[in-house]
A and B are shown apart, each in its own frame.
Chain A
Amino acid sequence: MENNIEHSDIYAIAHHHRFQWEEAQQSYVILFPEGMVKLHGGAGEVLKRLDGKATVGDIVAELKAAFPDADDIETDILGMFDLAVGKAWLRKL
């Protein structure tokens, strides 16, 4: 992992980026100047929990509880944060 995501970190959607549910796509998207990304279900579940208060650890715990059958969900979630930070879609609070 390149961006050293810590459980105590709090992230928010980056400035000038917008995260929203798209009815026509049936998915969450991130919109930004000159681009957009359609998120897979798992990524949407993570990003919709960014409320300015929840830490990475809180979100991991919440998703573990919500999806008890998912294998090694923590690695996936940390990987998503790492990639989203690397893409500058998220900023650290």
Chain B
Amino acid sequence: MTQASLGQSVVQKVVQKTTQAQQNNGVAANITHTQPLWLLAEVTYRCPLHCAFCYNPTDYDKHTQNEISTEDWIKVLRDARKLGALQLGISGGEPLLRDDIEDIVIEARKLGYYSNLITSGVGLTEKRIQAFKEGGLDHIQLSMHDITEEINNFITNTKTFELKKKVAAMIKGHGYPMVLNVVMHRYNIGHIKEILEMAEALGADYVELANTQYYGWSLVNRNQLMPTREQIDHAEAVTNEFRAKVGKKMQIFFVVPDYFAERPKKCMNGWGEVFMIVTAEGTVLPCHSARVLPGMTFPNVREHGLEWAWKDSPAFNKYRGDDWMKEPCRTCPEKENDLGGCRCQAMMLAGDPEAADPVCSLSPHHHIIEQALKDAQNPVLQAQPIIFRTDKNSKKIIAGELKERIEEFHAVP
């Protein structure tokens, strides 16, 4: 018996051709049959940590003073649920900087979401975790950075090492599954065995070893963060060994960084296929970094309902299916498997949102990736200072400063 005979894993779902062009008074219109199964609520961009690898937009400081209200979020939850949303991620920034997460959690449970608080742990108190448990929050995903205090504090630009350990114990103590997310980069990838041992000691049920993907702040800091291929291969081998040792009690996901992969990733499982993000100020996005794409107007919940945003908005229909593709994607036998990769990466690195993702070995822009891998080993570039994710640096980038670190990209990351 195969899994297919029991049910369909929605996460790994093979995307069928879900849009069809229809003639509508001579105007081509798309009709989608997809559902936003995963709703990510990026409730704030404020954050007490300053991680060098944060994927949030570098101009996030624009969006910290105009966050949508609790009532707006409740409406978002209700409307997305009607569209079929099931998994809710409450993220940020640091979501705990809002004092209404308790209300959001209660509403989510009432509506039947499986809800997940994605947190650094800063601001998680006994009182709040108790309220989350009573409210029906299903799990908490805690970010961990390293086994050493030195690297944890360095990469987050904060003193949070001891706090992380305390919070992990608190999560376990309240009967939550322990879900750890560890972003991997040059500074911690050599400690992968020790990180996995720490996860086991903390009683982790799930560990996601997320190799840095280069968006937002991590793109600005790419030369400072990117490991070598040998380091990645070694880390994967160590992970496989560890997996064999711990068995089923701890599920370990190793996310291969796309710069080192042969094929591009099927980004977000397809544009407007299963993911919907609502940002702190109410913008509705098909992926985290879609705002780097030129000429796009994304809907905002202050003006439009989510149903319109998902089904009818030009932005969500723009890259659905494969009608938008150019060569070499259009006639590529792999196109259904990866949908040409990531539109944002194509824009930022190749300057064309409809180009094949440069990480694809068949992309005419693949040399950009090869150069990026070389640059990351160039001691002069490596020695440039890390631009930490701070309000001050965000303001600088908005003001057009720090140009030398972003001028090679075709959009501000």
A40 and B1 alpha carbons, distance in the complex (Å): 13
**With an 8 A cutoff between CB atoms, is A61 at the interface?**
no
Task: Mark out the residues of chain B between 101 and 120 whose CB falls within 8 Å of any chain A CB in the assembled complex.
Answer: 112, 114, 116
* B114 CB → nearest A CB, Å: 4
Among B1, B87, B116, contact of A82 (Cβ-Cβ < 8 Å) = B1
Residues of A within 8 A of B35 (CB): 24-25
**With an 8 A cutoff between CB atoms, is A36 at the interface?**
yes
**With an 8 A cutoff between CB atoms, is B23 at the interface?**
no
**With an 8 A cutoff between CB atoms, is B205 at the interface?**
yes
Residues of A within 8 A of B116 (CB): 33
**With an 8 A cutoff between CB atoms, is A18 at the interface?**
yes
Task: Mark out the residues of chain A between 18 and 61 whose CB falls within 8 Å of any chain B CB in the assembled complex.
Answer: 18, 20, 22, 24-25, 29-40, 43
Residues of B within 8 A of A34 (CB): 11, 179, 206, 208, 253
Asked whether A80 and B6 contact (CB < 8 A) given A33-B206, A36-B86, the answer is yes
Residues of B within 8 A of A22 (CB): 84, 86
A32 and B1 alpha carbons, distance in the complex (Å): 22
Among A25, A80, A83, contact of B84 (Cβ-Cβ < 8 Å) = A25
Residues of A within 8 A of B82 (CB): 24
Residues of B within 8 A of A33 (CB): 116, 138-139, 141, 177, 179, 205-206
Which secondary structure dominates where chain A touches chain B? mixed
> B7 contacts A38, CB within 8 Å?
yes
The interface on chain A, measured as residues whose beta carbon lies within 8 A of the other chain's beta carbons, has a size of 28
Residues of A within 8 A of B1 (CB): 76, 79-80, 82-83
Task: Mark out the residues of chain B between 221 and 279 whose CB falls within 8 Å of any chain A CB in the assembled complex.
Answer: 248, 253
- 1/0 per residue, CB under 8 A from B, across A67-80: the answer is 00000000010011
A15, A24, A33, A83 pick with most chain B CB within 10 angstroms? A33
Residues of A within 8 A of B8 (CB): 37-38, 40
Task: Mark out the residues of chain B between 1 and 32 whose CB falls within 8 Å of any chain A CB in the assembled complex.
Answer: 1-3, 5-11
> B84 contacts A18, CB within 8 Å?
no
A58 and B297 alpha carbons, distance in the complex (Å): 57
> B9 contacts A37, CB within 8 Å?
yes
* A59 CB → nearest B CB, Å: 15
A31 and B248 alpha carbons, distance in the complex (Å): 18
> B37 contacts A36, CB within 8 Å?
yes
Asked whether A36 and B5 contact (CB < 8 A) given A24-B83, A88-B248, the answer is no
Among A15, A20, A38, A84, contact of B10 (Cβ-Cβ < 8 Å) = A38
> B206 contacts A36, CB within 8 Å?
no
A29, A39, A43, A79 pick with most chain B CB within 10 angstroms? A29
Asked whether A29 and B177 contact (CB < 8 A) given A38-B7, A79-B1, the answer is no
* B111 CB → nearest A CB, Å: 11
A38 and B205 alpha carbons, distance in the complex (Å): 22
A32 and B138 alpha carbons, distance in the complex (Å): 8
Asked whether A16 and B87 contact (CB < 8 A) given A39-B6, A84-B6, the answer is no
Residues of B within 8 A of A83 (CB): 1-3, 6
Residues of A within 8 A of B141 (CB): 33
Residues on B facing A (Cβ under 8 Å): 1-3, 5-11, 35, 37, 82-84, 86-87, 112, 114, 116, 138-139, 141, 176-177, 179, 205-206, 208, 248, 253
Name 20 interchain pairs, CB-CB below 8 A, sorted by A: A18-B114, A20-B112, A22-B84, A24-B83, A24-B84, A25-B84, A29-B10, A33-B116, A33-B206, A34-B206, A36-B9, A36-B114, A37-B8, A38-B7, A40-B5, A43-B6, A43-B7, A79-B5, A83-B3, A83-B6
Q: Give 9 nearest A-B pairs by CB, closest first.
A: A31-B114, A24-B84, A79-B1, A39-B7, A16-B177, A37-B7, A43-B6, A38-B8, A33-B139
Residues on A facing B (Cβ under 8 Å): 15-16, 18, 20, 22, 24-25, 29-40, 43, 76, 79-80, 82-84, 87-88
